[in-house]
Amino acid sequence: MVAMPDLLPALPELFLACAGMLLLMIGVFRGEGSLRLVSWLAVGALLVTGVLLVLGPTERTVTFSGLFVSDSFAVFAKLLVLTATALTIILSQRYLETEQLARFEYPVLLVFATLGMMGMISANDLIALYVGLELQSLSLYVIAAFKRDFAKSSEAGLKYFVLGALSSGMLLYGASLVYGFAGTTNFDALAALFAAGETPAVGVIVGMVFVAAGLAFKISAVPFHMWTPDVYEGAPTSVTAFFAVAPKIAAITLFIRVLVDPFGDLLAQWQQVIWFCAVASMILGSLAAIQQSNIKRLMAYSSIGHIGYALVGLAAGTEAGVRGVLIYMAIYLAMNVGTFAIILSMRVQGRMVEEIRDLSGLSKSHPMMALAMAIFMWSMAGVPPAAGFFGKFYVFMAAVDAGLIVLAVIGVITSVVSCYYYLRIIKVMYFDDLTEPLERPSRAASLVIAGTALFTFPVFFIFSNAILTGAATAAASLFQ
Amino acid sequence: MLTAVLAIFVLAALAPTVHRMTPSFSHWLLALVPAAITVWFATFLGPVGAGEVVTQSIPWIPTLGVELAFRLDGLSLLFALLITGIGTFIVIYSGGYLHGHEHQGRFYLFIIAFMGAMLGLVLADDIITLFVFWELTSITSFLLIGFNHEDASSRRSAVQALLVTAFGGLALLAGLVLLGIAAGSFTLSGIEASGIDIRAHALYLPILVLILLGAFTKSAQVPFHFWLPNAMDAPTPVSAYLHSATMVKAGVYLLARMNPTLGATEVWTITLAAFGTVTALWGGLMALRSTDLKKVLAYTTLMALGTLVMLVGLGTEYAMKAYAVFLLAHSLYKGALFMGAGSVDHGTGTRDVRELSGLWQKMKITGVFIALAALSMAGLPPFFGFIGKEFMYEGMLQAGTLGLLVVAGMVIANATMLGAAGLVFWKPFTGQPSEAAEHAHEGGPSLWLGPAVLASLGLALGLGAIPHEGLGEGLLGAVATSLKGEAAKVDLYLWHGLTPALGISVVTIALGLGMFLGLGGVKRGLDGLARASRVNVDAAWDHVLAGLNAVAVAVTRATQTGKLRDYMVWTFTGITLMLGGTLLLRDGILLPREMPETSYLGIFMAALMVVGTIGTILAFSRLAAIVSLSVVGLSIAMFFLVYGAPDVGITQLMVETLTVIIIVLVLAKLPAFRKGEDGTGGERARNGAIAVAMGAVTTAILLAVIAVPYELDLTRYFAEQSYVGGYGRNVVNVILVDFRAFDTLGEVTVVAVAGLGVLALLKARMGRTRTGSQAGGDQP
């Protein structure tokens, strides 16, 4: 008889899974018009999950026969993901209602996607990784096409699905190669195998590259980024806001865990691949965004660029590098949620607008909103003293420490290029003439905008200690 | 010190409110805070002059060892006094200058925030703190240059200034980080105290180049000089403050700061002396040909910045002293001149020297102080500027051959200062009143107070009316000490005796007078020179931006076509490159020593797969393609069956069948293949090449995989455990029903769910056909 696994480390996930199913039932039985109720319940469930996480064990615990691991690294990343999802659900409500998309499935799907992400973050086995990833991806495919009467949204969902399936296939192929040659899919066992210092078989390395390629798709790193701009533009804006943050954080943490934990001793084997992805992402992210007139597409390229910067930290493969990535993602969360809260508030006479020129003269009609947007843009460009600078600083620092000076230099150059398009938004808001004023943002949106803007500057600047210490502990737990 | 910086930022935040409540005298109120801070800093004159260094450190992120560290030595103190002192007058001045402007409150916010950033920059000891403030000055200056945002050229200048300085800023960051790593410390004092000779470090050259890039862009050295004259689109208080007295000096400050750590090498000396002299010469000459008062002053600022850079480069003792003296002299007269020029603009409505003459009648007060400041700029005795120039020549003469070369350039540059002084005072104020001068009027005290104090200080310092003990040997000596890294003393005297420096000064003055008198000829000569270069750098800037846009369009057009097929092309290219690259780099290309044995059946099925693949490619309808593809799938299933994995084979068969059915059902809804849909011949060839490459890489992987001996751990495990653990002799059976019972259950479930999916699709299809007329009918 197999002994009952220790459920305690996975308590937050179990709670969220039950809550998700319960929410689905509530939605089904309440029928139409239950979006608001289900949304707030979902936010509540996410909150409780967060509390359970914080109260849970902090030392590394492995359960479910080695499939599931819980450590500070996981807790840090899960808290980020939960925050991102909760904020997105809050922001989405008004958008969904005015766009006639008020269906209760939306928050439920987000909850299931989040559950998948938590599974990814805590995966300690290639199989667990895949299960988490697919739970996330399947939910995302559906919500990308949530506005199903709208051709662009359906197209976005389909493109995402086809390319996503392709990447899942690559990942599985890689996993099977690893299994075939290493004889195990368990991360700890793999790590022990490689730590012994044996030269790994070609099959293992090829398998690892396949797994890396599959994951690169999920974080939309170049050259697996093609879906991003189309999906960002085509999907409903609230969905884009979700896509831009939570899945990215989950996938990059998973990426870190896979490369650092089981394959950590094969650093020399995967460093070039990550190096290449980082460089290509940074360059494409900064160049392609210049010409965009649609702000959602611009954010897509911007997110590709940001992932490139995060990968710089991963390419270092050191504890400092991982810490840098975690800090980067925490700041990325605030900047992006805030920016999307503003994009979701871009409404002129009852219709949504999403062109950059629609922001012209924002400083006159909504000075506080313009100021917040300016802070986000400075931060994304990485100009101090906004928080984004520190994100970039720590990853570049780690890269330089690890001897990847060329990588850091390319990162600095692309940062300058990206300044150009972030600045353009500030220029449009502050220097161009007002055409049509935007409507007042909803109260929830205003609160989120104000909160994230204050976090980006100056709260982070002053109280960065807590976050940096958290990230440092989390990174340390991975390198034990 | 943190309190002082914070106080200014708090003041900046409050400024708009203060202005709204007391619009008529808010500038006097707001100036109180910087004035008080100036006084506070002045109390440090004694101790710092005596060689003391005041430090303050507040832990910020203790876990990472980051702290907010500040340091006050001679160099910092001089800058701090200039920033807050001149800042006080600038705030007062802008009250008068921008009186009634609708965004006056916002202006105070920006300019006071800038003051705080600049102060933080010169006080910072931690190099990250320094960098943060450095970038903050760039941002606030961007907002200030673009303050008149209705004006297109203002906007262009603002963006240009920001991008140039931001580029330099990031280079600086890279340099500082490398420096920190090389020295093992992230504070300036720590780096100096570390005892590590950075000059001998392997990273010295990269550090030097990066830091120089930062400093040169900020201090507008050739070839990054073009943004500074353009930045004159800013309101005059901004030009007076940022572009003469403070921000552009940040680069010069940094170089001085780095001198003890990085200086005194050959590359340092030659680079700084060469760039500095060329900039000085260039700025001086261009000043003569400008007609806009502010442009004239902007170019003389270039001259001054070049001179300061050159002096840091020379590194002789007198050069260090000259740096201190000239820095102070320049800030005083240039601040006064800019504000004076602004008053002229304010009083007459123009800054064009061709339209101005005979202003003396109407604007006596402004005239007096412009005259005093201009004389100091011209370097005539008994003004402070003269002392600065004497020190400068002395310093160059000490520097040997290189110094003599520099002297030749600097004589011309200094002579042009005299010409420029004539341009800003003599031309507008003497002679017959011009049309513009007819209705000129004097501004209020807020407009002339600043120039008055600064210009008078220039004269008083020159005459020795202010005791030199505290200032000369004290503060300026301390500045020279900070630069040199060892004790130095400055004796300020107008009369140094009959020295070679005096002789050069006389030549300079004569040359300058000649230039001013023959201005017409000089201008014509310069026009040719100007056409050859400055315009080009500025135009090149536009080309760079246009080029960036073009690259962006090209990249986007190539990668983001919106077609799924093109995305697949990129994805497969990427994966091919990544895998192929890994194989090549890791020597992964292996051939099995012996080919595995093959049966005729296997060859037959492989051939079947090849046929299926070719059929798929050549098929002219979707249905045919799907059917051909399923041949491949079924052949794979056969392989499994033949080579002893019947369960996998069965699953594969079922999944394959279901997939084909589903796809056929879906595809049947699509319109037929159209001609040209699969791209041009070239595209097809490209796609084919990628497909072949991908196939080749996969084949290489498979061959390599077979070539290495297979790990038999798993096989052995199941062979051993199947009887012990599962009580069965048929290993496959035991695996299926015991070891992987849940897997099998899962497989069954998957197939069942897929079947349900087919059913749903079929039902939907039938329902649609029945209710077709209601739903609007199918597309043909």
Q: Which residue has the higher pLDDT, A50 or B592?
A: A50
Q: Does B58 touch chain A (CB under 8 A)?
A: no
Q: Which residue has the higher pLDDT, B610 or B495?
A: B610
Residues facing B66 on adjacent strands: B61
Element (H, E) at A61: strand A61-63
Residues of chain B positioned with their CB less than 8 A from the CB of A278: none
**Cβ-based neighbours of B442, under 8 Å, separated by 6 or more:** B343, B347, B362, B363, B364, B365, B366, B448
Nearest-CA distance from B155 to chain A in Å? 8
Closest-CA residue of chain A to B714? A183
What's the pLDDT tens digit per position in B716-729? Answer: 777 777 777 777 77
Best A287, A371, A423, A429 residue to mutate vs chain B (most B CBs within 10 Å): A287
Q: Do B60 and A464 touch (CB under 8 A)?
A: yes
- Report how far residue B734's alpha carbon sits from residue B726's, in angstroms, rounded to the nearest whole number: 6
pLDDT band at A9 (very low <50, low <70, confident <90, very high): confident
Q: Does B215 touch chain A (CB under 8 A)?
A: no
- Report how far residue B338's alpha carbon sits from residue B322's, in angstroms, rounded to the nearest whole number: 23
Cα–Cα separations (whole angstroms), residue B48 to B312, B335, B570: 21, 25, 64
In this predicted structure, which of A322-336, B311-325, B555-569 has the lowest mean pLDDT?
B555-569
Start-to-end C-alpha separation, chain A: 33
Q: Which residue has the higher pLDDT, B539 or B531?
A: B539
Q: What share of chain B is helix, strand, coil (3-state, %, to 5)?
A: 80, 5, 20
Best B60, B701, B710 residue to mutate vs chain A (most A CBs within 10 Å): B701
Per the domain annotation, does A27 fall within a domain? no
Cα B295 to the center of its chain, rounded Å: 25
Nearest-CA distance from B279 to chain A in Å? 25
What 3-state DSSP class applies to B351?
coil
pLDDT number for residue B637: 87
pLDDT at B779 over 50: no
Q: Does B233 touch chain A (CB under 8 A)?
A: no
Query: How is B141-175 classified by DSSP, letter by letter?
Result: HHHHHTTSTTSHHHHHHHHHHHHHHHHHHHHHHHH
Q: How many CB atoms lie within 10 A of CB A90?
A: 20
Residues of chain B positioned with their CB less than 8 A from the CB of A227: 567
Closest Cβ opposite residue B132 in set A227, A290, A385: A385
Residue intervals of chain B classified under CATH 1.20.120 are 564-728
Cα–Cα separations (whole angstroms), residue B669 to B581, B661, B779: 41, 13, 8
**Cβ-based neighbours of A67, under 8 Å, separated by 6 or more:** A123, A124, A125, A127, A128, A186
| CB B417 within 8 Å of CB B377 | yes
Residues of chain A positioned with their CB less than 8 A from the CB of B178: 400
**Cβ-based neighbours of B431, under 8 Å, separated by 6 or more:** B357, B358
Maximal CA-CA distance, chain B: 119
Q: How many CB atoms lie within 10 A of CB A59?
A: 9
Determine the average pLDDT of the residues in B287-312: 86
- Report how far residue A307's alpha carbon sits from residue A315's, in angstroms, rounded to the nearest whole number: 12
- Report how far residue B115's alpha carbon sits from residue B409's, in angstroms, rounded to the nearest whole number: 34
Query: Is it true that domain B564-728 has CATH number 1.10.3470?
Result: no
pTM of the model: 0.79
- Report how far residue B61's alpha carbon sits from residue B567's, in angstroms, rounded to the nearest whole number: 45
- Report how far residue A53's alpha carbon sits from residue A70's, in angstroms, rounded to the nearest whole number: 10
Determine the average pLDDT of the residues in B773-777: 36
Q: Do B556 and A420 touch (CB under 8 A)?
A: no
Q: Do B552 and A290 touch (CB under 8 A)?
A: yes
Determine the average pLDDT of the residues in A258-266: 86
Q: Do B588 and A289 touch (CB under 8 A)?
A: no
Per the domain annotation, does A295 fall within a domain? no
One-letter amino acid for residue B597 of the chain: E
Q: Does B703 touch chain A (CB under 8 A)?
A: no
| CB A478 within 8 Å of CB A71 | yes
A57 is written with which tokens? 């064990």
pLDDT number for residue A139: 93
Closest-CA residue of chain A to B698? A206
Q: How many CB atoms lie within 10 A of CB B55?
A: 13
Residues facing A348 on adjacent strands: A351
Element (H, E) at A352: strand A351-352
pLDDT at B710 over 80: no
Select from B219, B321, B314, B232 the least CA-distant residue to B274: B314
pLDDT at B772 over 60: no
What's the pLDDT tens digit per position in B134-153? Answer: 888 888 888 887 777 667 77
Maximal CA-CA distance, chain A: 74
pLDDT number for residue B773: 38
- For tokens 């990447």, name the residue: A167
pLDDT band at B470 (very low <50, low <70, confident <90, very high): low
- For tokens 């059913």, name the residue: B759
What's the pLDDT tens digit per position in A307-358? Answer: 999 999 999 989 999 999 999 999 999 999 999 999 998 888 878 888 888 8
pLDDT number for residue B157: 79
Per the domain annotation, does A234 fall within a domain? no
pLDDT number for residue B704: 79
Torsions phi, psi of B71, nearest 5? -145, 135
Taken in order B274, B279, B282, B283, is the CA torsion positive or negative?
A: negative
What's the pLDDT tens digit per position in A158-202? Answer: 888 988 998 899 899 899 888 877 878 889 888 888 887 767 777
Which residue range forms the structural domain that includes residue A333? 302-480
pLDDT band at B482 (very low <50, low <70, confident <90, very high): confident
Share of chain B above pLDDT 70, in %: 89
Q: Do B588 and A229 touch (CB under 8 A)?
A: no
Q: Does B567 touch chain A (CB under 8 A)?
A: yes
Average pLDDT over chain A, rounded to whole?
A: 88
Burial state string for A320-343 with b = 16 or more CB within 10 A and e = fewer than 16: bbbbbbbbbbbbbbbbbbbbbbbb
| CB B111 within 8 Å of CB B90 | yes
**Cβ-based neighbours of B181, under 8 Å, separated by 6 or more:** A400, A401, B203
pLDDT number for residue B780: 32
- Report how far residue B295's alpha carbon sits from residue B300's, in angstroms, rounded to the nearest whole number: 9
Per the domain annotation, does A475 fall within a domain? yes
Select from B119, B120, B160 the least CA-distant residue to B142: B160
Per the domain annotation, does A373 fall within a domain? yes
Closest-CA residue of chain B to A389? B132
Q: Which residue has the higher pLDDT, B583 or A210?
A: A210
Determine the average pLDDT of the residues in A27-49: 90
pLDDT at A279 over 50: yes
A69 is written with which tokens? 């691991």
| CB B66 within 8 Å of CB B128 | yes
- Report how far residue B283's alpha carbon sits from residue A196's, in angstroms, rounded to the nearest whole number: 66
Closest Cβ opposite residue B574 in set A223, A383, A409: A223
Closest-CA residue of chain A to B66? A465
Q: Does B13 touch chain A (CB under 8 A)?
A: no
Share of chain A above pLDDT 70, in %: 99
Q: How many CB atoms lie within 10 A of CB B344?
A: 28
Best B5, B569, B571, B710 residue to mutate vs chain A (most A CBs within 10 Å): B571
Q: Identify the burial level of A403 via C-beta atoms within 10 angstroms of its C-beta, where 0-12 means exposed, 13-18 middle and 19 or more buried.
A: exposed
Closest Cβ opposite residue A416 in set B170, B553, B568: B170
Per the domain annotation, does A89 fall within a domain? no
Closest-CA residue of chain B to A165? B568
pLDDT band at A24 (very low <50, low <70, confident <90, very high): very high
Size of interface A-B (CB pairs under 8 A): 171
What's the pLDDT tens digit per position in A88-122? Answer: 999 998 888 888 888 888 999 999 999 999 999 99
Nearest-CA distance from B183 to chain A in Å? 13
Nearest-CA distance from A93 to chain B in Å? 30
Nearest-CA distance from B402 to chain A in Å? 34
Cα–Cα separations (whole angstroms), residue B491 to A364, B467, B480: 55, 11, 12
pLDDT number for residue B778: 34
Per the domain annotation, does A184 fall within a domain? no
- For tokens 């007096």, name the residue: B368
Of the spans A241-250, B336-345, B693-702, which averages the highest pLDDT? A241-250
Residues of chain B positioned with their CB less than 8 A from the CB of A384: 131-132, 135-136
Determine the average pLDDT of the residues in A42-66: 90
pLDDT number for residue A326: 93
Select from B344, B338, B335, B207 the least CA-distant residue to B263: B207
How many domains does one find in chain A? 1
Q: Does B549 touch chain A (CB under 8 A)?
A: yes
pLDDT number for residue B324: 86
- Report how far residue B168's alpha carbon sits from residue B131's, in angstroms, rounded to the nearest whole number: 11
Q: Do B701 and A206 touch (CB under 8 A)?
A: yes
- Report how far residue A85's alpha carbon sits from residue A238's, in angstroms, rounded to the nearest whole number: 11
Cα–Cα separations (whole angstroms), residue B164 to A282, B167, B169, B214, B245: 20, 5, 9, 10, 19
Cα–Cα separations (whole angstroms), residue A208 to B5, B522, B525, B589, B714: 52, 71, 68, 16, 20
Nearest-CA distance from A44 to chain B in Å? 33
Per the domain annotation, does A48 fall within a domain? no
- Report how far residue B281's alpha carbon sits from residue B408's, in angstroms, rounded to the nearest whole number: 10
- Report how far residue A112's alpha carbon sits from residue B98's, in angstroms, rounded to the nearest whole number: 58
In this predicted structure, which of B176-180, B245-249, B366-370, B667-671 has the lowest mean pLDDT?
B667-671
Best A226, A298, A395, A428 residue to mutate vs chain B (most B CBs within 10 Å): A226
Average pLDDT over chain B, rounded to whole?
A: 80
Nearest-CA distance from B37 to chain A in Å? 23
Cα–Cα separations (whole angstroms), residue A178 to A125, A205, B424, B601, B710: 12, 8, 78, 29, 12
pLDDT band at B488 (very low <50, low <70, confident <90, very high): low
What 3-state DSSP class applies to B776?
coil
B277 is written with which tokens? 């002299």
